[in-house]
Amino acid sequence: MGFVAPDLPDLDHDEWSRRPYSERLKPLAQHWVEHGFGTPSAIYLVYVLKIGLYVAGAAWFISMTPGLGGLGDIDVWWDQPIVYQKLVVWTLLFEVAGFGCGWGPLTSRFVPPMGAFLYWLRPGTIRLAPWPDKVPGTGGTTRTWFDVALYAGVLGTAVWLLAQPGDGVAVTAGDTVGLLDPVAALPLIATLGLLGLRDKTIFLAARGEQYWVTLFVFFLPFVDMIIAFKLVMLALWWGAATSKLNHHFPHVVAVMMSNSPLIRSRWVKRKMYRNAPDDLQPSAIPRTMAHVGTAVEYLVPAYLVFLGDGGTLTWAALIFMVVFHLHILSTVPMGVPLEWNVFFIFSLFYLFGTYGETQIWDMTTPATLLVLIPLVGLPLLGNVRPEKVSFLPAMRYYAGNWATSAWYFKGDAEQRMDAALTTTSPLPVDQLRMLYPDETVQLFLAKVMAWRSLHSHGRAHAGLTRRIIGDGDGWTVRDGEIVAGYALGWNFGEGHLHNGQLLAAVQERCDFEPGELVVMVLESQPIQTQTQQYRVYDANLGLLEEGYVRVSDMLSRQPWPEAGDVFPVHDVRTFGPSVPSGQG
């Protein structure tokens, strides 16, 4: 890869662009094996600097706490009780402002590198309520001044909470300032909760399943607060581990390793696949890594929470988990949850190092266990009924078992969408044209679809795409993630942000004719079945078709459809006109 130029396959662009869609996919998927996304080296430097901004911002805000001590005294006060509280608030603010997950070029945001607050402080942009037909006052899809005021309120109350002094009541021997008054957290709890009922995108961007829930922990006595903080961490680890009990995760490991900027050996990257470049099923290496990683997320956190006493074994387990998160961070996952992993690393030292002797058995009030209601209930429901719960509160991180979608634009439909929607960013394709020639732009965006194809569900994507649009002539195919990032201002692997609900909001503004915009939505796999539901929508006509695909059919195929292969679909029901074109 170059410092500013992307590393893309050497293709005759004109000849490549004339191929059927599945044949365009193949060389890009094969190129991913050795080169990953092909991200310029300068981009990784930008992400490193952003991590530095997160750390420096946290240190500065916390050091402003009266009586705590300045930045020069950080070695004295970093483990004081109020520090972790303020780090939670700072991290929530960093995320909800749009500087954390889903930021930058690796999420198809180039100029500017973010949406988030640029969108959410602008009336007229699209908002998606989680239950618009059930919660009064949340209907509609247009952001109003009331929504803007609520979002500004979230930012303002977070900054206000960061600026609060401690209550002056020491809770440990070295404590000099005490804890935050929990009542001071109520404005942030209320504004984010209310805003979340009107716009699920912002609540998810704030990582509400972790940081918003943690704000309620501030109301507990100090010992119970530390225990509850540990239970939040345990739920996140165990939720992620549970979601990896599937056939999808080894594909994720192989794809992440191919994209790692620290692995320079192409030989090593090829070894992640059975017989690259022709057979891109995961080899035994990522499969073993997947199983070991899952076991680690169950066993080591269990020891830290239930048995750790701050002794030598606790520190060994702590360091092991630090290395675990450093490995995830080093692969630079496409959703770039980098600061999230930094937060976990600090939490390990703070909760299980400094307060390692505080064990769950030291709990003083049963109210501490109330935190388990959302931390256990939502992952249980999300694994059994994934269509009901976002993969974030369901804690199905990194598992490869996500709701996804593909958007098919006929002719100039994508450009007409751009003209009709209120946004603060141009289409990703137009952002890239500010930086690179058109041939580079087309290959760069097509690489996103190649990334998708390498996952297990990507095999179903490729097969269903052929079923819906045939050879793709005259169609532009975009991953739903790109559409959500452009239309909503944020995306982070959440397929429920670019499903039929977003399509309906787009159609309200664009009034497409039948056949101009078609969307295929693939729901994630419930833990108790080996199937995934799919739906095909036309922007104008509504639901066209639904059925399900089998996970086993995904696992037996390559990322690109072979000639003559028709991906099998089951229990197919059609509504209105048939699928637009292709083999359906």
**Phi and psi of 6, rounded to 5°?**
-70, 155
pTM for the whole thing? 0.94
Helix or strand or coil: residue 116? coil
- Which residues, 6 or more positions from 508, have their beta carbon under 8 angstroms from its beta carbon? 141
pLDDT reading at 582 higher than 80: no
Average pLDDT, stretch 108-125? 94
Provide the terminal-to-terminal Cα distance of the chain, rounded to the nearest Å.
40
Average pLDDT, stretch 412-435? 95
C-alpha 68/C-alpha 121 separation (Å) is: 34
Q: What pLDDT, on a 0 to 100 scale, did the predictor assign at position 3?
A: 63
* Percent of all residues in the chain with a pLDDT value above 70, rounded to a whole number: 98
Q: What pLDDT, on a 0 to 100 scale, did the predictor assign at position 584?
A: 38
Average pLDDT, stretch 263-278? 94
Q: What is the DSSP string of 54-104?
A: HHHHHHHHHHTSTTT--GGGHHHHTTSHHHHHHHHHHHHHHHHTTSSTT-S
pLDDT band at 581 (very low <50, low <70, confident <90, very high): low
Q: What pLDDT, on a 0 to 100 scale, did the predictor assign at position 8?
A: 86
Choose among 485, 480, 478, 435: nearest CA to 115. 485
**Phi and psi of 274, rounded to 5°?**
-65, -45
pLDDT band at 243 (very low <50, low <70, confident <90, very high): very high
Q: What pLDDT, on a 0 to 100 scale, did the predictor assign at position 332?
A: 86
C-alpha 329/C-alpha 19 separation (Å) is: 37
Average pLDDT, stretch 340-351? 97
| 470-516 tens-digit pLDDT | 989 999 999 999 999 999 999 998 999 999 999 999 999 999 999 99
pLDDT reading at 576 higher than 80: no
- Which residues, 6 or more positions from 421, have their beta carbon under 8 angstroms from its beta carbon? 126, 487, 506, 509, 510
Average pLDDT, stretch 266-283? 95
pLDDT reading at 1 higher than 60: no
C-alpha 445/C-alpha 467 separation (Å) is: 22
pLDDT reading at 2 higher than 60: no
Encode 145-157: b = buried (16+ Cβ within 10 Å), e = exposed: eebbebbebbbeb
Average pLDDT, stretch 285-314? 94
- Give the chain's mean pLDDT: 93
Q: What pLDDT, on a 0 to 100 scale, did the predictor assign at position 563?
A: 83
Domain ranges of the chain: 41-246+287-388, 404-574
